[in-house]
Amino acid sequence: METFARPSVGGGAKTLPAECYISPDVFAQEEDRIFRSEWLCVGREESLPCVGDFFTVERTGESLIVTRDAGGTVHAFYNVCRHRGTRLCSEASGHFTGSIQCPYHAWTYALDGELKVARNMAEVPGFDRAEYPLKEAAVALWEGFIFVNLHVILSASTTLSTGSVEGQDEFERVFAPVIGRFSRWNVANLQTARSITYELACNWKLVFLNYSECYHCPLVHPQLDKLSPSDSGHNDLSEGAFLGGYSELRDRGTSLATSGRSSREPLGSVGGDDLDRVYYYTIFPSLLLSLHPDYAMVHYCKPLAAERTEVTCAWLFDPNAMAKPDFDPADVVEFWDLTNRQDWHVNELTQRGLRSRAYSPGPYSNAEGLLSAFDRHYLAIMEA
């Protein structure tokens, strides 16, 4: 890892060198030190309502099958048969009827990963089916989200092939600053009404940095600034892997939607000052979480290359609100789709500028304290 100038904790903090955003070598180091080591959000439990439901995800060159076994446990199996390495599943999502079968030689695995059938292997000296379960990444559940960690490879018997035991307990240790923090929004029970996937021509870190400041909002988001002043609010998480706080709505009873209003009931037990606030948090390194009085919005961030990022934005609502005949999330989706595209445009302009030999690290403003905190956390991991 190249040694980069560390941003100052106090005054004088500056942006990172261009190499952090444009270098394929730095991106390869990030894949190893961040995306194969940190907890990554890959979706929601609502995508697996029944035993055998599954979806597949790609992260850092690995394909995972995320599914639910007969006991209700969520697994993230490496999409690799233990026989000859064949990819087991090619579909984006679907349902397993009791087992996972390799399409090549029909080795068949239970939904907990145990190898149940290995054709013509019984007569092979020393072969033991118990030694060939599917390998899997560690999985943790939080607020209805599914997180995986690729650092440790588990087997169906929970015997590790490398490293030490990691799972829900380890996740809760790392995520301690946000465990229980969002309970009043009842996020775990919300359901996704709509989602839009974007592919951006910029580095993933620019997405996180842009999300963490509203210095740009009056110029870039006039419709947002009209409803929520860019200089309002307070940050309550300002160091480490979890950063953010709230912004205020200009007028009581308004909502960040194209109409500026909402007839939906508040989520969970949201009340008091929270009815006039929107909370924004970055969950390093894969999730942006926005909590509104009557809905939640998430951005799932998936780095593709040094200068390409896939972002899926999803809008979550109370299932009771969604069940009403007149439910329509369009006012929220249209508002934020416009806002997202405004952000992606300036992120891509920044990416272009970072490639210039005229670029050198510039000073952060007082409105960009979370950006300097993000840089410090990033460098602490990269330089460890």
Please name the residues in contact with 18: beta carbons below 8 A apart, sequence gap of 6 or more.
Answer: 354, 355, 359
- Under 8 Å between Cβ of 77 and 102: no
CATH architecture assigned to 183-382 = Alpha-Beta Complex (3.90)
**pLDDT (tens digit per residue) in 292-321:** 999 999 999 999 999 999 999 999 999 999
CB atoms within 10 A of CB 53: 15
CA distances (Å), origin 18, targets 7, 106, 115, 153, 357: 14, 49, 48, 34, 9
> What is d(CA 36, CA 48) in angstroms, rounded to the nearest whole number?
24
Least confident of 66-80, 92-106, 157-171, 238-252: 157-171
Give start-end residues of each CATH 2.102.10.10 domain in the chain: 40-174
CA 254 to chain centre: 28
Give start-end residues of each CATH 3.90.380.10 domain in the chain: 183-382
In this predicted structure, the answer to whether residue 217 has a pLDDT above a threshold of 90 is yes
* Model pLDDT, residue 4: 53
- Under 8 Å between Cβ of 39 and 171: yes
Burial tier of 260 (Cβ tally within 10 Å: 0-12, 13-18, 19+)? middle
Average pLDDT over residues 67-85: 97
Identify the helix (H) or strand (E) that includes residue 140. strand 135-142
* Model pLDDT, residue 116: 97
Q: What is the mean pLDDT of the chain?
A: 94
Please name the residue that has the structure tokens 């040094």: 306
* Model pLDDT, residue 1: 43
DSSP codes joined into one string, 209-277: HHHT--TTHHHH-HHHHHHS-TT--EEEEESSSEEEEEEE-SSTTB-SSTTSB--SPPSTT--GGGGGE
User: Rounded to the nearest 5°, which phi and psi values hold at 234?
Assistant: -160, 140
In this predicted structure, the answer to whether residue 373 has a pLDDT above a threshold of 60 is yes
Residue 333 amino acid letter: V
Please name the residue that has the structure tokens 């199996």: 77
Extract the runs of DSSP E, i.e. beta strands, from 275-380: 277-283, 287-291, 296-305, 308-317
Confidence band of 384 (pLDDT split at 50, 70, 90)? confident
Confidence band of 162 (pLDDT split at 50, 70, 90)? very low
pTM confidence score: 0.94
Local structure of 76: helix, strand or coil = strand
Please name the residue that has the structure tokens 């990963």: 113
CA distances (Å), origin 88, targets 26, 79, 80, 117, 353: 32, 6, 6, 14, 42
In this predicted structure, the answer to whether residue 160 has a pLDDT above a threshold of 50 is no
Packed helices 369-382 and 204-211: angle between N→C axes, nearest 10 degrees: 150
Q: Which CATH number fits domain 40-174: 3.55.50.30, 2.102.10.10, 3.30.530.20, 3.40.50.300?
A: 2.102.10.10
- Under 8 Å between Cβ of 192 and 46: yes
**pLDDT (tens digit per residue) in 313-344:** 999 999 999 999 999 999 999 999 999 999 99
* Model pLDDT, residue 5: 53
Tokens of 357: 């030999």
